[in-house]
Chains A and B, each alone.
Chain A
Amino acid sequence: MDPVRISEFIWEIPKSGEMKVPARIYASEKLIELARRDQTLQQARNVACLPGIQQRSYVMPDAHQGYGFPIGGVAAFDLDEGIISPGGVGYDINCGVRLLRTDFRESDITARRKELLAEIFKEVPAGVGKGGITRLSRNVLKEILVRGAEWAVAQGFGTAEDLERTEENGRMKDASWEFISDKAMERGIPQLGTLGAGNHFLEIQKVDEIYEPEVARAFGLEEKGQVLVMIHCGSRGLGHQIATDYIELMENKFGFKGLPDRELINAPFKSDLGQRYYRSMCAAVNYAFANRQMIAHWVRDVFARVMGSSQGMQQIYDVCHNVAKVEKHTVNGKEKQLCVHRKGATRSFGPGRPEIPVVYRQVGQPVLIPGSMGTASYILVGTKEAEEMSFSSTAHGAGRVMSRNEALRRFRGEQIRDELARKGVELKATSWKGVAEEASAAYKDVDEVVRVSHETGLGRLVARVVPIGVMKG
């Protein structure tokens, strides 16, 4: 069961038993060691047993054990013979990242850093149970589920250009609210325009290093010290409830006997239940796009107020980290439509793909990989090689290496705040205990994760960014 090393960063578990395809892991020695410690590799094998899986079951460099599929798992399924699985998307549907550039440099904002962060903290609701500022009607929510970020822009939250620079232009066209439970709708109503808690955050960052200046320029990144804003959140309770509901519905319909793990429950993609889940999941993706659209708008408002201008605060991109999408890929020399599951993975389309914005089509898609709280994050660019290597996917973040309990035993939130302050990073949070749980030492080294992505060609390094101000939900 131990994976065979194919090359420096590529490992493979050959097909055996019920596996329909091999499993492939992209990792350095250090990262594969971490994957060996938990269920990651077994879960990658389990995914390889699912009906209609194409090519391989893939594991990204930041992978760790998840439910059913590993976090950092990528799998593509034939539309006719294959399946769709809520466990292959994750509970936080379209947990993702949006990045805004600015015309400001670090020196412009140093004196107002505290104020900026304090104002953003006031404007953007965060933390558990903190409702959004607008109480939605059910009809408006339905519109949001169908139109996504497009709805938000039509309400004056941002610009049409933001939509162009969002995966799917901020709207999954197959979305429908019709198959979403009342419970999920009710959880969605109070939470639109909220950051949430846990690993979700909003950061004011600066460019720390540029690796590929030409691509960086195409993305709107000019030089070291340039200020950026990163928003990391998802579809909140709405998405969580849709996942929970469909796991139950699929269990009741198909049973889970014969599945190596109950959380691998799935439905044929083209079955009625499969389509209901798919269309509901698309709606949750749209909700998350609208959510980040609204938060980005409030951040721009704060900059306009505090800094006197929000001009130049263009959106670089907005990416999904938890999603299943129908995409065209080449398998055995033949182009075909597949249902690609990315659970804790980022799409990494290279130059020329029609799905990416015209402005980036020459260079490839921006790939946004957040680090852990207070550490570096990375901007990469999608590649042509990734199409063959991983159905155009790469890593999505750092991934935990220490339990919350242990982090709580080892760290105190206030101490983390003081340490960050010494490094020049401002921190605002809704709970200090929550900060301790998310201590950066509890996470993998994101530098190592992106190095593997770069070396393998899954996604090439463009820039490294570091936080100046961190808001944690």
Chain B
Amino acid sequence: MEKKYEIMEHLADGKFRAYGRNLEECLGNAALAMASLMWEPEKIKPKIKEIIKLEAASPEQLTVKFLTELIYLLEVKSFLLGRVNGIKIEKRKQNGDSVYHLKAEVAGDLISPHYEIYGQVKAVTYNEMKIENTGDGLVLQVVVDM
């Protein structure tokens, strides 16, 4: 199976690259990458589903808002992400501006002593953020504040 994401070296915080054929896949893998800085997503049982809906002015802003939503789910609903079931992004024109609409379904479980949480992502930043088309897909690079 091809690589979904890669954790990069960063002196003070967390940095990763997520891969995918399109922005949807990239964002799904970015969610898993960010989760892996806090817990092991593959160990989380997909017992609970959450739906995320949001809109943003650019792919970068969409990335920040989507990943921040996962921190929100962790802190407010004690939700640990284990799997991304699907993401849909639509670009629409609103009053002459492009607006990106995202709908995602993610699955996971509640915090419990079964799961070790070893880190905390405080916020998602624009620092060193890059979305690049490499020819055979997209690479999304993100730095998160820890």
Contacts and interface: CB of A to CB of B under 8 A. Distances in A.
- If over half of B's interface residues share one DSSP class (helix, strand or loop), that class is named, otherwise mixed; here it is loop
A455 B146 CA distance: 32
Interface string B125-142: 111010000000000000
Nearest to B12: A400
Interface of A: 38, 64-68, 71, 91-92, 127-129, 131, 183, 186-187, 189-191, 196-198, 237, 240-241, 243-244, 247-248, 251-252, 261-263, 399-406, 430-434, 437, 473
B84 interface: no
Interface stretch (B17-25, B85-93, B111-119): B111-119
B72 A247 contact: no
A91 B143 CA distance: 13
A66 B11 CA distance: 10
B42 interface: no
Contacts, number: 114
A473 B65 CA distance: 26
Contact of A67 (B9, B116, B145): B145
A67 B127 CA distance: 6
B79 to A, nearest CB: 9
Contacts of A183: 72
A246 B145 CA distance: 16
A237 B71 contact: yes
A92 B124 CA distance: 12
Interface string B93-128: 000000000000000000100001111101111110
Contact of B117 (A66, A131, A244, A430): A430
B123 A244 contact: yes
Nearest to B79: A129
A248 B124 CA distance: 12
A248 B65 contact: yes
A316 B25 CA distance: 52
A186 B14 contact: no
15 contacts: A67-B145, A129-B75, A131-B78, A189-B76, A198-B119, A241-B72, A244-B123, A248-B64, A251-B61, A263-B127, A400-B12, A402-B11, A404-B10, A431-B116, A431-B118
A404 B38 CA distance: 12
A418 to B, nearest CB: 19
Given A68-B127, A402-B11, 10 more contacts: A71-B12, A91-B125, A187-B76, A190-B75, A196-B120, A243-B123, A248-B65, A263-B126, A401-B11, A434-B119
A434 B118 contact: yes
B117 A262 contact: no
A92 B122 contact: yes
B123 to A, nearest CB: 4
B74 A64 contact: no
Contacts of A437: 118-119
A433 B116 contact: yes
A67 B68 CA distance: 16
B117 A127 contact: yes
A64 B11 contact: yes
A470 B118 CA distance: 17
A189 B61 CA distance: 26
Contacts of B146: 198, 404
B127 A191 contact: no
Contacts of B123: 91, 240, 243-244
A197 B37 CA distance: 13
B44 interface: no
B30 to A, nearest CB: 16
Contacts of A66: 12
Contacts of B125: 67, 91, 263
